[in-house]
A and B are shown apart, each in its own frame.
Chain A
Amino acid sequence: MTKKPSEKSSGASKDPTRRRKVASGAGVPSAVAAKARPTTSDMVSVSLVVNNVHHSLALDPRTTLLDLLREHLDLTGTKKGCDQGQCGACTVLVDGRRINSCLTFAAMYDGAQITTIEGLARNGALHPLQQAFIDHDAFQCGYCTPGQICSAVGLLAEGRAKTADEIRELMSGNICRCGAYTNIVAAIQQAMGQS
């Protein structure tokens, strides 16, 4: 594997799922794979937009969306907790819907729009949910918080949760080992009131 000079050296560089950045830059993705023809290859070409920035990469197909974000794009706000879809720390928004980025291959998101915790603030102003988490002290260690907030952004967009019970049920994919649940529900209720 040849490494570009701009890439960081790390002990993990032998891992083929890491750091094979080909090109990235601002823009909008071209129509990807307009012709749906089966293709088979060792490395997979993926073009996607993350937080409004276009990236085109060649990836080992084992690369999860989470590892793409953290290891290839240096977007380390999205956390790896269990890496098995059980904790929700890796929650991101794909085309506006919340998913577990650890349980999916990045190659499956060719042409998608991804939003991570780094992409929620607008013009220096926090997203209402980010502000609500601060207002309600909705965390202790903070490790689950990016996933909690992205999950709550998805929850607000779904418009299905009205009561505290419904918020708890629809947030059950996000574990907080510090146990800040009471304040997390209060923060989400505040943001719901504003939306």
Chain B
Amino acid sequence: MIGFQYARAGDVTDAVRLMAGDPRAKFVAGGTNLIDLMKMDVERPSMVIDINRLPLKEVEEVPGGGLRIGALVRNTDLAYNALVEERYPVLASALLAGATQQLRNMASTGGNLLQRTRCHYFYDTATPCNKREPGSGCSAIGGQNRMHAILGASDACIAVHPSDMCVAMAMLEAMVRVTGASGERAIPFAEFHRLPGETPERDTNLSAGEIITAVELPPRGFATNYTYLKIRDRLSYAFALVSVAAGLELEGGTIKEGHFALGGIAHKPWRDPQAEAALRGQPANAKTFALAADIFLRDAEGYEHNAFKIDLARRCIMRALSQAAAGTPQSQSSKKIV
């Protein structure tokens, strides 16, 4: 690991000012991803700004029925928060599907949004990678690409975003609150993460020097009919091959509103308004779910080792929507899929 300056910020203003003074600085909260990448020489910040003293550790109700989650709320605390368990159980479930309890105890909400891909080539500094070193090429396209994208990829990068938490937040239509030198703004979750395009080195639409201060959830939490279904190579502690966060609002057997987002298949949590439109007003049955899945995957493309994900994603969407409709969410401890 290269040497760096270490600074402690006392509040958001301090943090933004320190970052403005050094464009090669990085914020550290939990550190579970940043420090790992620093050990691998993938991240080489000149300064690490410790933001753990910032007052961003509360989960608060907001007027109108939503919830504001401070950027420093740890993943465990968020998963076990009584309001989240009661009103946004899909988020609690997604959090508990990710990583391990030790990592969840460290990892922050803001840091989880800023996780970088787990593509092996991104980590391996001996290989070309456009995300790590723009213009060097993509080793995954012609290499080992079992974990990689089936939607939204580009000729420059086929990496996927690794977060579980973000998949649930995308489904819930969260807002990301950020602060920079020019003030505060809110970014809709769907616009927070980027597709790789020609600039895969940029994971998000955060501007230089901005810090995430909170994530806000809208009132609708799909607390009755939801699931987070995650398919992976091990039963626990593995990144998703495919994951689905699904939520339905039902009237009798008819779908009034349905949201679903997928993880493990694209450079960002993937939602598709057209696929969700195919649920609205339709009976909650296998035929409806299959049609929605087909629409969702209409542009899916596989590579040498990951083509299986297209059919897997189709089955996961159908299974997740069935689980949500039946009110039988996937357990994150018993791994039996029903």
Contacts and interface: CB of A to CB of B under 8 A. Distances in A.
Is the A/B pair a real complex? yes
Interface of A: 16, 33, 35-42, 44, 60-62, 64, 83-85, 88, 91, 97-100, 103-105, 107-108, 110, 151, 154-155, 158, 160, 163, 165-166, 168-170, 172-173
B237 A98 contact: no
Contacts, number: 117
30 contacts: A16-B3, A33-B8, A36-B10, A36-B53, A37-B10, A38-B7, A39-B8, A40-B18, A40-B47, A42-B5, A44-B6, A61-B3, A62-B4, A84-B36, A85-B102, A91-B102, A97-B105, A100-B32, A103-B103, A103-B106, A108-B28, A158-B101, A165-B335, A169-B236, A169-B332, A170-B333, A172-B236, A173-B102, A173-B103, A173-B237
Interface in B69-111: 76, 80, 99-103, 105-106
B39 A84 contact: yes
A99 B102 CA distance: 4
B1 A62 contact: yes
Interface string B313-336: 000000000000000000011110
Contacts of A163: 333
Contacts of B6: 40-41, 44, 61, 105, 107
Given A36-B9, A61-B6, A88-B102, 5 more contacts: A33-B8, A37-B10, A38-B14, A62-B1, A173-B103
B39 A173 contact: no
Contacts of A83: 39
B7 to A, nearest CB: 4
Report, nearest first, the 8 A-B pairs whose CB atoms are least far apart: A173-B100, A36-B10, A61-B6, A172-B236, A169-B333, A40-B7, A172-B237, A166-B333
Interface in B176-219: none
A105 B105 contact: no
Contact of A60 (B3, B47, B235): B3
Nearest to B10: A36
A40 B48 CA distance: 10
B7 A160 contact: no
A124 B275 CA distance: 64
A13 B70 CA distance: 42
B276 interface: no
A110 B10 CA distance: 14
A154 B101 contact: yes
Contacts of A33: 8, 53
A85 B103 contact: yes
Most B C-beta atoms less than 10 A away, residue of A64, A83, A166, A170: A170
B43 to A, nearest CB: 13
Which residue among A103, A104, A155, A163 has the maximum number of chain B CB atoms within 10 Å of its CB?
Answer: A103
B35 interface: yes
Given A38-B18, A104-B35, A165 B333 contact: yes
A38 B76 CA distance: 28
Interface string B19-48: 000000000101110011001000000011
A59 to B, nearest CB: 9
Among B35, B101, B335, the one with the most A-chain Cβ atoms within 10 Å of its Cβ is: B101
B11 interface: yes
A151 B102 contact: yes
B101 A170 contact: yes
A2 to B, nearest CB: 19
A83 B31 CA distance: 13
A195 B105 CA distance: 22
Nearest to A94: B105
A114 B7 CA distance: 22
Contacts of B237: 172-173
A116 B16 CA distance: 35
Contact of A103 (B9, B36, B48, B53): B36
Q: Which of B5, B18, B80 has the most CB of A within 10 A?
A: B5
B217 to A, nearest CB: 23
A166 B101 CA distance: 12
A7 B17 CA distance: 39
Given A37-B10, A98-B101, A166-B333, A103 B32 contact: yes
B50 interface: yes
B23 to A, nearest CB: 15
Interface in B150-166: none
B306 interface: no
A36 B4 contact: no
A165 B334 contact: yes
A63 to B, nearest CB: 10
B288 interface: no
